[in-house]
Amino acid sequence: MSDKSDDLLEDAENFTEEAIRELKRAEKEKNTILIRDACEKGWNAIIQATNALFLKKNLPLARSHWERRKRLEELERVDP
Question: Is it the case that residue 1 has pLDDT exceeding 90?
Answer: no
DSSP H or E stretch at residue 61? none
Report the phi/psi class of residue 62: left, alpha or beta, with left for phi > 0 and alpha for psi in -120 to 50.
beta
- pLDDT digits over 2-55, tens only? 589 999 999 999 999 999 999 999 999 999 999 999 999 999 999 999 999 999
Prediction pTM value: 0.86
Going from N- to C-terminal start, the domains of the chain cover 4-78
* Counts of helices then strands in the chain (DSSP H, E): 3, 0
Q: Report the alpha-carbon distance of residue 52 to residue 66 in Å, rounded.
A: 17
Contact call for residues 12 and 43 (beta carbons, < 8 A):
no
According to the model, what pLDDT value does residue 69 have?
A: 96
According to the model, what pLDDT value does residue 4 have?
A: 93
According to the model, what pLDDT value does residue 2 have?
A: 56
Q: Report the alpha-carbon distance of residue 1 to residue 36 in Å, rounded.
A: 35
